[in-house]
Amino acid sequence: MPLYRVYATVGFLTFLAAKSAQFAGFTLMTSTHFDDFIYDNNTLCGLTALNGNRLIKIRARLVVGADGRQSAVRAKAGLTSQVFGASRDVIWFKLSKQAGDPEWGMGHKGPRHNFIIIDRGDYWQCGFSIAKGEFEAWQSKGLAALRQNIAAVAPFNEARMAELTAWDQLKLLSVRIDRLDKWMKAGVLCIGDAAHAMSPIGGVGVNLAIQDAVATANYLTTPLLQGELRMSDLEKVQKRRQFPTVATQFLQIKMSSNKGQSKRPGKMPAIVRRLPFLRFIFGRLIGLGFRTEKPQRFI
């Protein structure tokens, strides 16, 4: 069966795309957006997608919604969710690397811990954390004021902010934590943030999304190959991934409420510092999560 996925081709995804291209049934369609489901006698049997103005029809036994925290697949499927709220949003932007910059690893940097920095090789991916819903207020204060405020909490001096000359260099990333009640309906399964939007806390959302994808492949490859996919197969994926999702989101919610109330590190990191064995457990949870997934071989 041909396998259609829509990817943004960056980093790990580029690697996956190159590996997947070795399989005869794989087709990659970039810049192609899910539009709606198609039905045959009320049975969901694929989707329509838009590539520019071109409408493409793709027939499929299963549509996997892996389209992130604003998932259109989730919305069109009418799946219901619980929202746990998140008190912060993030203004996302790039700064160029310069000679003499330290070798920062990924994490929160700066005097007030609300500046996020990720080394992307030839540039710094930066995030400035703001109170939820305040982006428009920041816009009305003007770019110069924003640059000044970022410099006050960033490990870069204000001169470096001169690179930020227009609002279209800054993207608002809405932070949310939510979870679908049911990750599926007949013919559709949501995974990753589409099933459970994760906050940036702990930098674990990508791990969970990949683990969901591995569990999906492990449970669904055989029924799909045999043409016998049942609702109960889709339910197995949620059953397997529900506990690690709930447990991780619980920790994120706890940590974000600690952070919101104090400028000092929250209670949880303090406990982890006092009890060294917890450091190991915590590190393992951040690195591997509550439940690891091992890909099965099917060929």
* Contacts to ligand FAD by CB under 6 A: 6, 8, 33-34, 66-69, 72, 90, 127, 173, 175, 192-194, 198, 200, 203-207, 209
In terms of CB distance, is 66 or 95 closer to ligand FAD?
66
Task: Quote the CA–CA distance of 94 and 246 in Å, as a whole number.
Answer: 32
**Cβ at position 174, least distance to ligand FAD in Å:** 7
Which residue's beta carbon is nearest to the bound ligand FAD?
Answer: 205
Structure tokens that stand for 217 in this block: 């492949």
In terms of CB distance, is 143 or 173 closer to ligand FAD?
173
In terms of CB distance, is 61 or 76 closer to ligand FAD?
76
In terms of CB distance, is 82 or 222 closer to ligand FAD?
82
Contacts of 245 (CB under 8 A, 6+ apart): 179, 195, 196, 208
**Cβ at position 129, least distance to ligand FAD in Å:** 8
Structure tokens that stand for 78 in this block: 């009418």
* Closest C-alpha among 265, 266, 285 to residue 277: 285
DSSP assignments along 128-146, one per residue:
EEEETT-HHHHHHH-HHHH
**Cβ at position 68, least distance to ligand FAD in Å:** 3
Q: Roughly what angle, to the nearest 10 degrees, separates helices 267-274 and 231-261? A: 90
**Cβ at position 167, least distance to ligand FAD in Å:** 17
149 to 15, 112, 120, 129, 154: CA distances (angstroms): 37, 11, 23, 11, 9
In terms of CB distance, is 88 or 160 closer to ligand FAD?
88
**Cβ at position 222, least distance to ligand FAD in Å:** 24
**Cβ at position 207, least distance to ligand FAD in Å:** 6
Structure tokens that stand for 109 in this block: 């940097």
209 to 153, 187, 274: CA distances (angstroms): 30, 20, 31
In terms of CB distance, is 187 or 192 closer to ligand FAD?
192
